[in-house]
Amino acid sequence: MSEDNGTTHFGYKEVPKGEKKRRVAGVFSSVAAKYDVMNDLMSGGVHRLWKRFTLDRAGLRKGQRVLDLAGGTGDLAEAEARRVGPDGEVVLSDINAEMLGHGRERLVNAGLAGNIQYVQADAEHLPFPDNHFDRVTMAFGLRNVTDKEAALASIHRVLKPGGRLLVLEFSKPVLPGLKPVYDAYSFAALPFMGRLVAGDAESYRYLAESIRMHPDQKTLAGMFEAAGFTGVTWHDLTGGIVALHVGYKA
């Protein structure tokens, strides 16, 4: 979370707030081309199940308008576009141009064009009207945002009354005995795979560190509520390695 003295964390490092966005951009520009491959390797493919659970909890209907924030290469947006149908709309948004470009290419190749738009945007300052979206989803992006409180407030503004925010993010293991195993895997295996597959160990070391600096389940739920969301719940997945937080706009 951001600090009053003008600094924030980039992994375990303390950096000026303005510098974090530049550094995060560098990370994702570096890994964009191998992002999907690395997701499958790092999670053993389980990230697909986490996202399927998110989609089921989104309860999308034909004709709805969805914003997928930090949508990267578009795997969540692809499924959302199919669920809302040709009369609905999905906006795939990411702050990183390289990630968004890969997402556009992926979805065009999948034959999806008519109901998807692509917008490069900062989650802290969303360029959309008030009360515009039925759903906002964000998978594995909130921990990279410099000012999470500002992002949650911006999301709340663009949601319609009755709309729903779903944030899928790495969290704190709750299964007894899981944390030391997970830590060992994160700090040894992730940088090794990053160097081997993406030629970039440092970016994946940052990703492991950023997970540890992200708020735990209860803290994040409180941040949702402070931003104005109601009915806030979370679902621990894979022993709490990942959690899906859900909140509603009254």
Phi, psi of 32 (to 5 degrees): -55, -45
Banded model confidence at residue 2, pLDDT cuts 50, 70, 90: very low
Averaged pLDDT for residues 92-113: 90
For residues 184-197, average pLDDT? 87
Give yes or no for a contact between 1 and 215, defined as CB atoms under 8 angstroms apart: yes
Residue 170's closest CA among 91, 244, 98? 244
Residue 189 confidence (pLDDT): 87
For 97, phi then psi, to 5°, come to -65, -40
Q: Which two tokens stand for residue 30?
A: 């570096």
Q: Is residue 165 within 8 Å of residue 136, measured between CB atoms?
A: yes
Query: What's the rounded mean pLDDT across residues 100-110?
Result: 90
Contact 194, 38 (CB under 8 A): yes
Largest Cα separation within the chain, whole Å, is 48
94 is in an annotated binding site: yes
Q: Is the pLDDT of residue 3 over 80?
A: no
Task: State the pLDDT at residue 5.
Answer: 53
Per-domain boundaries in the chain: 25-175+203-248
Is 73 known as a binding-site position? yes
Measured at the CA of 216, the angle between CA 215 and CA 221, to 5 degrees, comes to 85
Homologous superfamily of 25-175+203-248 in CATH? Vaccinia Virus protein VP39 (3.40.50.150)
Q: What is the pLDDT of residues 118-135, one digit of tens each?
A: 999 999 999 999 999 999
**β strands within the chain, DSSP E:** 7-10, 13-16, 65-69, 89-94, 116-120, 133-139, 159-170, 230-237, 242-248
Residue-averaged pLDDT of the chain: 91
CA distance 202 to 30: 10
**Inter-CA distances, 27 with 96, 205, 222, 250, Å:** 10, 10, 29, 36
Cβ contact 225:160 at 8 Å: no
Q: Is the pLDDT of residue 4 over 70?
A: no
Residue whose entry in the numeric block shows the structure tokens 């005995």: 177
Place of tokens 């209907």: 61
Rounded to whole angstroms, the Cα distance separating 121 from 125 reads 8
| Axis crossing angle, helix 217-226 with helix 148-158, rounded to the nearest 10 | 50
